[in-house]
Amino acid sequence: MWFDSLGAKSSSTLITTPYVNVLIDPGVAIMHPTFPASWEDKVRWAEEGFKRVLNASRRADVVVITHYHYDHYTDFERGIYEGKEVIVKDPNQYINESQRGRALNFLESMVRELGGEGLEEFMTSPLHRAYGNPLSGLVEATSRDFGDYSSRRAELLGKGLKWFRKLSSKWASWRWVKDFKLPLVSLAIGDGRSFKFGGLELSLSTPRFHGVEFSRVGWVVSVGIRCCGFKVLYTSDLNGPIIEDYATSVLRFEPDLLILDGPPTYLLGYTLNRINLGRAVDNGVRIVNGLGEGTIVVYDHHLAREPRFRERTSRVWETSRVRVGTAAEFMGRKPVVVEVARK
C-alpha cells in the first residue's frame, strides 16, 4: 500500500486471497528532518499513504501489527480495525516501555470504542516470570568472528544483557493483556503462533530484535503467509537483517514473495556502524542468492530514506539471482529520495 520509496515511512502491505484479505502494518509516518524534501511534500506523501492504507483496510478481514511504531500501526482508527480480526505483537513481553505504553493506549481505545468497558477486563497476572539470555538462540551471530571489533562487541552485548534483565523483570511484574473478542473486533496476541483462515495459514515468528542484538528500539515479529501454493514472508524491521540467524530463517521459509526491510543507511555513523552495515549487506547477499528462481524481493523500508542507499548496499543489487526492487520500482516509479536529490 505504501513504502518509504514512495515518500513516507511505511511498509503497509495488503495480501488478497480467496479466503481472507490480510492487511499487515497499517501505519504511515512523516519522513525524518534530514530527508531531502520540503515539509509540505513530506506531509502530502504521508497523507496520501494514509489514504491508501485506510482504503485497503476496507478490503481487509484480518489486520496484523508487528510492533508499535507509528510507521507500522495507526493509533486507534475505527475505520481500520472495526469488524476485523486483529493479530498483534505481544504487548506484555519482549517489548520496551515506550511501545508498551503505546500498545496499552491503543488497545484501551479499541476496547472502549468497539464494545467493551475497558482494557482492564481483559488483563491478568503475568504468565511468565523468568527469561533466559536471548543470545542463546542466535548461534550464528554469536559464533561469528568479528576480528578487531570482538572486544567492543562483547562489551556492548554485556551492557545489552544487563538492560534486558532489568527490562524483563518489569514484564514479570506488570499486568498482562490477553486475547479478547468483542461484538465489533477480536484480538489475538500472535507471537510464535499460527492461524488458519480456510486454506490460508498465517504464522508469526517469535520476537526478534529490531535490528542489532539488544536494540533499545525493541522487538518485532515477522509474518509468513501460505496460501494457494504461494508463500509470502514479511520480515518487519530486522534492518537488513543485521543478525545472521534471521537471514537463515528467511531462506528456510523459501518465500515466493519476500518483503525485506533494508539497513537504515541514513543512520550510518550514528546508530548504524560500518560493522553492522557490513553484516546486513552480507546477509542480504546470502538471501538474494539463496532464494529460488522466480522469487520477488521488495527491498525497501528504512533503506530508501537517503539517496545513496543503492550504492551503500550495492552488492545486494549487483549479485542477486532474483528480482529485487523497491516498492516504487515495482509500481513503475523511481524512489522519491532519488528523484528529489536530483533536483
Total structural domains within the chain: 1
For residue 3, pLDDT beyond 90? yes
Query: Per residue in 116-145, pLDDT tens?
Result: 899 999 999 988 878 999 999 999 999 999
Look up residue 236 and give its three cell numbers: 518487519
Domain that holds residue 187: 2-342
Is the separation of the CB atoms in 299 and 239 below 8 Å? no
What is the separation of C-alpha 35 from the centre of its chain, rounded to a whole number of angstroms? 21
CATH of residue 91's domain is 3.60.15.10
| Structure confidence by residue, pLDDT tens digits, 153-197 | 999 999 999 999 999 999 999 999 999 999 999 999 999 999 999
Map grid coordinates 517469535 to a residue: 206
- Which pLDDT belongs to residue 300? 97
Peptide bond into 36 cis (omega under 30): no
d(CA 67, CA 72): 7
How many Å apart are CA 89 and CA 182, to the nearest integer? 19
- Write the DSSP symbol of residue 32: P
**Where are the extended beta strands (E) located within 152-286?**
176-177, 180-182, 185-189, 194-197, 200-204, 208-209, 219-220, 223-227, 230-234, 257-261
pLDDT band of 342, cuts 50, 70, 90 = confident
The sign of the CA dihedral 228, 53, 110, 114 is negative
Most distant CA pair in the chain: distance in Å?
Answer: 58
- Residue 128: per-residue pLDDT: 82
Q: Beta strands 219-220 and 230-234: pairing type?
A: unpaired
Place of cell 516470570: 129
Geometric angle at alpha carbon 44, from 41 and 47, rounded to 5°: 150
